[in-house]
Amino acid sequence: MPPRFGTLDTSKFKPGNISDYKTDALTLKGVQILELHMEIDDDPADALIPKTMHPAIPMYAIFNVMHAPNSEWGPFTIAEVRAAGRTGVRPRGFVLRSYIDNDDAAKGLTSRWGFPVAKADVTLRVLHDRITGRVKLGGKTVLEVEEQDRDSISGNDIQYIASMHLAQSKVDNKLVVVQVDPEYVFHKAERGRPRVVTLDPEAFGATASSLNVMGAISACFTTADITLPKVRYICNPDVPAMQGTTKVAA
């Protein structure tokens, strides 16, 4: 059986605009991270990732809401949906769309790491019985996710996978997929039961069939110091990663 590849129509995707590949690393202290993994319908989800990636089997989506209390741009909260896959043999999450509540942070994240980001009302609330992440566009909730039934665990039990960002390069005006592989130092971690309360697939560049949540996998909530790295690798979105990956930094 031949390997499966993504079938994303990149002409309909809203990429970030990365300035170059020479950004310095950036450390964000005391970041709160809510992440849910949810199984989605397999075959339609191939359209969520570019041809450079293989879909995960079974296919799942990653819902991530992150609050950074301090940064060079001030505090910000960002939420994104990723489609799980692989580049070669390595697990990766392709970012469908990021939403953020800070204009300066939006500009910095897209110009330095190619985040496909847009402005929205994004919140992360820590309540006594649950953690809730929400995105509102024009007053309409397009994403609301929760972690319930929380239990403390060790940060050693958490393993976040690297993100892949489809971006328009200002260096040569080409579409590239930028690998962003942050480093984490965990201060607190817990796991719980995931719940997707509200999801508007179109707000994340998907359709109801391609981003069709089928069942729960996991949820975790952590507090960590995050280092966004120098950009090391980029991929041609239309070529398998084993042939189309370029190293841009040591």
The CATH code of domain 10-237 reads 2.40.400.10
Q: Render pLDDT for 209-245 as a digit per residue (tens, 0 to 9).
A: 999 999 999 999 999 999 999 999 999 999 999 898 9
Q: Express as a percent the part of the chain with pLDDT over 90.
A: 92
pLDDT in tens, 92-138: 999 999 999 999 999 999 999 999 999 999 999 999 899 999 999 99
The mean pLDDT value for 63-90 works out to 96
Per-residue 3-state assignment (H helix, E strand, C coil) for the chain: CCCCCCCCCHHHCCCEEECCCCCCCEEEEEEEEEEEEEEECCHHHHHHCCCCCEECCCCEEEEEEEEECCCCCCCEEEEEEEEEEEECCEEEEEEEEEEECCHHHHHHHHHHHCCCEEECEEEEEECCCEEEEEEEECCEEEEEEEEEEEEECCHHHCCCCEEEEEEEECCCCCEEEEEECCEEEEEEEEEEEEEEEEECHHHHCCCCCCCCEEEEEEEEEEEEEEEECCCCEEECCCCCHHHHEEECCC
CB-CB contact of 186 with 158 (8 Å): yes
